[in-house]
Structure 1
Amino acid sequence: MYSDRALVIGAGFAGLLAARVLSESYGDVVVVERDRLTADTPHRPGVPQAHHPHVLLARGAEVLDGLFPRLCAELEEAGAVRSDAGSDHLVRLPAGWAPRDHLGTSVLSVTRTTLERTIRKRVLKLPNVSLVDGVAVRGLLLDRGTVIGVRGVRDDDLFTDYADLVVDASGHGSKLVPWLAEHGVHCPAPMIVNGRASCASRLYHLDGDLRFDWKTAREPTRAPDLTRGGTASEVDGQRWFVALVGAAGDAAPADDDGFAEYAASLRCQDIAEIVKTAAPASPVHRTANLRSRWNRFHQVPDWPRGLLALGDSVVSLNPVHGHGLTLAALSCADLRHLLRGNDLARHPLLFQRAVARTAKVPWTSVTTADLGWSGRRIPPRVRLRRWYARRLTDAAPGSTRVYRAYVRVTQMADHPAKLFAPAVIWRVLSGSRPRATAR
């Protein structure tokens, strides 16, 4: 059964996936986007994180292939690189090198531009989906507690559009909270955890003289002592994406010499070798003050009918941890499931509560790591989680079993409860020693 019309604010990753899902339940789906879009749109102002690496976690790739059959294969044809999270990844953990055994968990490395362009092409081929770009949405239209449309500006002209359901997928810059306040709907203060992190990224051309036995190299930070980290990964064919991460105010410089010196300070010297030897294919792009924010829309008792919110407009996670795309995809999977048996325009809190349930695990994972940099007193339960996480990552270099459990949880393929399986706990608490041949 089709309802009449749905409107999605934002043609980014979350908005495109939402439009795909809504096309199954609404006769007409329109996506309104602030940026002007063409078939070859490069990095656009609405997605500043496109200048940094993006990884589609194993669970996210599974959801995408469910929404768009063979999408991951199409991305690979466009240059995305699929890798095994064990044998194809070189990972320098604090206690040593992670095992290089084949784990059977694949990861897709792709630029945000290629990912969105490929999905946008698929979505706009749907007969009941259309795009209106260049629209700056300025507020919601409400009638007796029900959102009936949006208002804004397009080409200096007033823009108004009406719909039975409005979905805010406008990202971390969403203005939904003040828009609701204009109509007397007040939201709780958001939960914010500042990771005190920064990221400086640059693309490099593949050099035929550089040969590595990995597709992704990574060295994570860890509070309170390891403030520097980085990643390097193959993306979109003949390029490497290098990102240097800093925490607690230790930021990578944007100039050539400073960027190279920062990379050279890492223990994973393969990253430094790329920066030193390969030809830059882009400027250095820096983003600082990376944090996580949760707008608790599921706790708003007078939430308007006809309005849903998903993606970064609800939960925006510190992008250093790489969970954002997958969380948005999982929320769209929840949307698809709930639309099959519910009128979400009349009962929108059903969906907002589902978003909150889905976000709980990645939020806990990301903020547990980031609270180590906060400088304030950490609650006992968080201290306990941090203690166990530290013991687990220290045991991983000496145990493939522990590392496999760690990878599958970080890839959101398994629930964190898997990290407390008896065989894993025994190795974590007994303190497995790193293997001498791991590197």
Structure 2
Amino acid sequence: MDSRSDRGMDRGTDRGKDLRRAVVLGAGFAGMLTASVLARHAAEVVVVDRDRLPAGPLARPGLPQAHHGHLLMASGAESLEALLPGFTDSLTAAGARRLALPGDLLSLGPHGWLPRIREASHGWCLSRDLLDWIVRERVLADPAVRLEPGVHAEGLCGDARRVTGVRLRGDEWPDGHELAADLVVDATGRGSRAPRWLAGLGLPEVAEERVDCGLVYATLLVRPPDRAAGFPSVSIQTGPGAGPGRAGVIFPIEGGRWLVTLSGTRGVELPRDEPEFHAYARALPHPLIADLLSACRPLDRVRRYGNTADRRRRYDRCRRWPDGFAVVGDAVAHTNPAYGHGLSVAAGGVLALARTLERHGPDRAGVTGDIQRAVHRGTRAAWSLATAQDIHYPDVVGAHPTRADTLRARLADRLQAAAARADGTGGDADAILATLIRLGTLKAHPTALARPATLRALLHPPTPAPTPDPAPPLTPTEQSALPQAPHHTSPHP
């Protein structure tokens, strides 16, 4: 090994830390958060990434999903605040949009428009490039953290009992190099090769769960007219069980821009250019997004993305797990991005890693196995919410609804119907809507559904609901932001 790559190992624990060197594979969102945690325990943290990262909130080749809308749920923001104190202040300073939910959301579902009552939870809208840049800038300010761009991992060093480093290749080491480490963490995302690397050490095959409803989405970055400044987020969708799913979402992001995303499950053809994009938006169950889009100026081409299956690797079930190695973020689990949980689950997983290391110490035998179990626990809620809906779309791959799944879907539909009657007076419907919002932002546990208001809605058939108002619940200011089109307050034929 060259002297430059081993300088931290020579220092040992002269900074009073338990580890000499930790290596993080992947310099994305989860990877950089992990580096911030490991810098508390290691004299040197080396972060490697195959990309050369931009010096600012700009796109990079290895993250094609960054062109699309991202939500940071309340739970994820709390995890980030715990990992990087003051982080939400940085979001505000950078122009990220905080959405009070449901008030700052115009959402149309099977039971009509969602009532815009008092805040039950919140989320943050911003570009993925900006989010990653804020995290990266904070973490790389720590002198213990060193970034090695243009480098990728080819495998692990060590054996089935302990990982002792990682084999790297890239600009710095074109002929390959073994970098010794006390701890290696894989944060390489959906393309992680950790199962193959573990098999190379003689460990059993890792079980994997996968549910794929075939969702594809297309996004257009636009500049809305000045009169639409501050307009709420918009979501229009059909529900599972009613044929292929179709949806449209407007994400207001920094710089006064919007990311407009249209999506469809298996059996639906997504647009590839602007004329098709406008036509698809016009065919949604309500013309609101199409009307708003008609007044916007495009800032980019239409971009499509289709790697959206729910996928979870069950590292927590491995009976043997090597010391010195852990996996976090999308490399462990990722769900259909339509539900907006990915960033929050990843941040929560890194927080679980941090708490496990604090509780047990980074050099204790078996601590990395504890980390995998803790990370897995943080995936359960998002996994259940996503797969419980995705299995009901046509031609889903990987799972099919059972009678129990069908019953749960009916009960969930009953709750959504009850929530659609919320009126802000504090009754059962308000309580149910608040609970569903908190579940959707991962701020509540499913046991919250056992509350009296929810049980009453589940046990007693609701009275026939009035016909939903076809017009979105707009304020006068929001109404004035719409183009003067005769159809914007009527349902699409």
- Could you state the TM-score of these two structures normalised by the residue count of structure 1? 0.95
CA–CA distance in structure 1, aligned partners of residues 307 and 179 of structure 2: 36
User: C-alpha displacement at 1:344, in angstroms?
Assistant: 4.6
Equivalent of residue 225 in structure 1, options 223, 237, 242? 242
The amino acid of 1:350's aligned partner reads D
1:405 maps to 2:452? no
User: C-alpha displacement at 1:427, in angstroms?
Assistant: 3.2
Retained in 1: the 8 A contact 2:229–2:256?
no
1:420 maps to 2:426? no
Structure 2 SS opposite 1:349: helix
CA–CA distance in structure 1, aligned partners of residues 344 and 280 of structure 2: 30
Equivalent of residue 44 in structure 2, options 25, 28, 33? 28
1:98 maps to 2:114? yes
1:300 maps to 2:318? yes
Q: Structure 1 residues 221, 164: CA separation in 2 closer, same or farther (over 3 Å shift)?
A: farther
User: C-alpha displacement at 1:216, in angstroms?
Assistant: 0.6
Which is further off, 6-15 or 150-159? 150-159
Structure 1 SS opposite 2:264: strand
The amino acid of 2:439's aligned partner reads V
User: C-alpha displacement at 1:123, in angstroms?
Assistant: 0.2
User: C-alpha displacement at 1:104, in angstroms?
Assistant: 4.4
1:256 maps to 2:287? no
Residue in structure 2 matched with residue 359 of structure 1 by the alignment: 379
Structure 1 SS opposite 2:391: helix
1:127 maps to 2:143? yes
Residue in structure 2 matched with residue 199 of structure 1 by the alignment: 217
Retained in 1: the 8 A contact 2:159–2:201?
no
Structure 1 SS opposite 2:155: strand
Equivalent of residue 378 in structure 1, options 401, 405, 422? 401
Retained in 2: the 8 A contact 1:197–1:249?
no
CA–CA distance in structure 2, aligned partners of residues 197 and 356 of structure 1: 24
Residue in structure 1 matched with residue 489 of structure 2 by the alignment: none
Over aligned residues, Cα RMSD in angstroms? 1.9
Residue in structure 1 matched with residue 17 of structure 2 by the alignment: 2
Residue in structure 2 matched with residue 312 of structure 1 by the alignment: 330
**Count of residues paired in the alignment:** 438
Matches within 5 A, 1:11-410: 11-40=27-56, 42-143=58-159, 145-155=161-171, 156-209=174-227, 211=228, 214-225=231-242, 227-288=245-306, 290-345=308-363, 346-347=365-366, 348-373=368-393, 375=395, 377-399=400-422, 400-410=430-440
Which is further off, 218-227 or 402-411? 218-227
Equivalent of residue 462 in structure 2, options 398, 408, 431? 431
User: C-alpha displacement at 1:316, in angstroms?
Assistant: 1.6
CA–CA distance in structure 1, aligned partners of residues 162 and 230 of structure 2: 57
Gaps of 5+ in 1: none
User: C-alpha displacement at 1:289, in angstroms?
Assistant: 5.2
- Could you state the TM-score of these two structures normalised by the residue count of structure 2? 0.85
Structure 1 SS opposite 2:379: helix
Retained in 2: the 8 A contact 1:197–1:246?
yes
Q: Structure 1 residues 304, 323: CA separation in 2 closer, same or farther (over 3 Å shift)?
A: same
User: C-alpha displacement at 1:379, in angstroms?
Assistant: 2.5
Q: Structure 1 residues 161, 213: CA separation in 2 closer, same or farther (over 3 Å shift)?
A: closer
The amino acid of 2:107's aligned partner reads V
- Bigger Rg, which one: 2
Structure 2 SS opposite 1:398: coil
The amino acid of 1:13's aligned partner reads F
Retained in 1: the 8 A contact 2:237–2:284?
no
Structure 1 SS opposite 2:99: strand
The amino acid of 1:396's aligned partner reads A
**CA offsets, 1:17-69, max 9 Å, x none?**
11111112222111111110131262222212101100000110111112222
**CA offsets, 1:90-138, max 9 Å, x none?**
0101110111112142211011000000110000011211111110111
**CA offsets, 1:380-436, max 9 Å, x none?**
332232222222222221123221111111001111221231112323544363675
The amino acid of 2:301's aligned partner reads P
The amino acid of 1:364's aligned partner reads S
Q: Structure 1 residues 164, 213: CA separation in 2 closer, same or farther (over 3 Å shift)?
A: closer
CA–CA distance in structure 1, aligned partners of residues 400 and 142 of structure 2: 51
CA–CA distance in structure 2, aligned partners of residues 314 and 69 of structure 1: 25
CA–CA distance in structure 1, aligned partners of residues 315 and 110 of structure 2: 38
**Identity level (%):** 34
User: C-alpha displacement at 1:213, in angstroms?
Assistant: 7.0
Structure 2 SS opposite 1:19: helix
